[in-house]
Each structure stands twice: as structure tokens, then as C-alpha cells.
Structure 1
Amino acid sequence: MRMLIGAVSVALLAGCVSPAMNDARNQAPTRALSSDKETPKVAECIKFTWQDEGVFGVDASGYIKNDKSGRTTVYTRDAESFVDLVPQGTGTALSYYAKQPDDSAAMRRLAMVATCL
């Protein structure tokens, strides 16, 4: 039963943040990066680092969403920060977005992304 409630909650959360993400994607990303690593490995690393309560406290959250176009998105609660990952050759192209790019949490999240490259 807990698994069902968790799955429904994540699905509802994903539906609520998509419009905010689409609006952000109409602008230039806060930072564009690339990695030589495979997309799934980079996505899992980012999700794991963003869930570190020692770094982000109660704001520690990280979710992964894959879409039909092949893009993988790792995002936080309310899509305060998110990163789009797209396979590029044998590596990955990343676009990092933050609602408040100068915010300390957004800067820490960007630094955590950089550790996963």
C-alpha cells in the first residue's frame, strides 16, 4: 500500500512541475555542461547527491523522469532546480535550470551536478 501511495504521489508531483519546467526551457539554461559518462549513470548520480540531507537539509529531494524523446530530467520538489540530460554520442549533454540561480541552494545543486560529470 505504501508503494502505491508513493507512486501516486510522485506521478502527481511530476504533473504539477511540468509546466514550470517547460516555461524554464523556453529560456537559456542557467548552465550548459557535458559529460563523457552515460546518461543513466549521470542522472542517478545527480539524484543521489541532491537527496543528501547533510547538504540540503529538509530541501533534499531528487526525482528522475524520462520522456519519450529520450531526455532524462532530474528535478527537485516544485522544480526549483532541474537538469535535462540528453545522450550525446557516448556521453551526455546537460542543461541545468534554477528558478533563483544566485540562491545558495541552487549554487550547491549546480556544484553537485559538476561532481557527477
Structure 2
Amino acid sequence: MKLIVGALAVALLAGCTTPSDLMKEAPELSANTKKDPKTYALCVYPSWQDYRSSAVMSETSAGYRLVAGNDMNGQTDDVLDIRKIKGGSAVKLYQRMAWQQLGRAELKKSFNSCL
């Protein structure tokens, strides 16, 4: 019994996804906008808060990053990376299990409408 519980705990820990893990994969969506990173981040952030009240927006050395995850299992489900480029921003949306869009429609809608 202890062996089964230990194996289950290891399997759950191995499944944790961090923002860095998600950003190693190809983005689900990417685009450029003429808006500066802060303006774009403030435009999309309300949708992220509606999706997950625990969504976090933080300033990075290159721009801004929004992160939404599941507090119950420590998984990062969505990351929006917004980087300053000449003439605006490059935005990339990374999603764990991108095929599963239940509740995520507003994230993609705000991604596009805020461009």
C-alpha cells in the first residue's frame, strides 16, 4: 500500500507544469501589435481574471507576462508572454492541453481583440 501511495505522489509531482515548461513548446497563438506591452497586458488581463481569479500579471525584463494555473495541483495552464519589440509588442499565448478549450474562449478572444 505504501508503495502505491508513493508511486502516485511521484506521478503527481512529475506532472507539474511551470510557465518555463510551457514556453519551451510552440505557442498556441502569436502575433505582433503596435501597442506597448503594458497597454496590451492591461487590455487582456480582465479576461484572464474572469477565466481564473488567481491569474497573475507581472512585469518582466522584456515586457509583461500573464499566468493562469490550477492552484489545486500546481499546474500552469496558460501563459501569455508580451515582449517589447520595435514599434510595439510581440505576444505569444502558450497553453497546456491546448485542445481543451472549455472556459478558455475569452482568452483567445481577448488575445485577438486587444491587438
Give structure 1 stretches of 5+ with no counterpart: 1-18
Provide the residue aligned with 1:9 in structure 2. none
Bigger-Rg structure (1/2): 2
CA RMSD of aligned residues (A): 1.8
Q: What is the aligned-residue identity percentage? A: 18
Q: Normalized against structure 1, the TM-score is what?
A: 0.68
More helix by share: 1
- Cα displacement string for residues 54-99 of structure 1 (whole angstroms, at most 9, x for unaligned residues): xx4xx344321122x3231011134311110001112110110011
Q: Is the 8 A contact 2:22 2:79 kept in 1?
A: no
Give 1:76's aligned residue: 68
Q: Do structure 1's residue 102 and structure 2's residue 102 form an aligned pair?
A: no
Aligned residue-pair number? 93
Return the letter of the residue paired with 1:77.
G
The residue that corresponds to 1:6 in the other structure is none
In structure 2, runs of 5+ residues without a counterpart are 1-16, 71-75
Specify which of 30, 36, 39 is matched with residue 37 of structure 2.
39
Match of residue 64, structure 1, among 57, 78, 101: 57
Aligned to 1:16: none
Determine the C-alpha separation between the residues in 2 that align with 1:33 and 1:61. 25
Cα shift readout 1:23-46 (whole Å, capped 9, x = no counterpart): 111111111111111110100111
TM-score, L = length of structure 2: 0.69
Which amino acid counterpart does residue 41 of structure 1 have in structure 2?
T
**Equivalent residues of 2:19, 2:67 under 8 A apart:** no
In 2, Cα distance between equivalents of 1:61 and 1:114 = 22
Q: Distance in 1 between matches of 2:104 and 2:47?
A: 13
Quote the residue 1:86 is aligned against: 83
Which structure has greater strand proportion? Answer: 2
Structure with greater contact order relative to length (CA < 8 Å, sep ≥ 6): 2
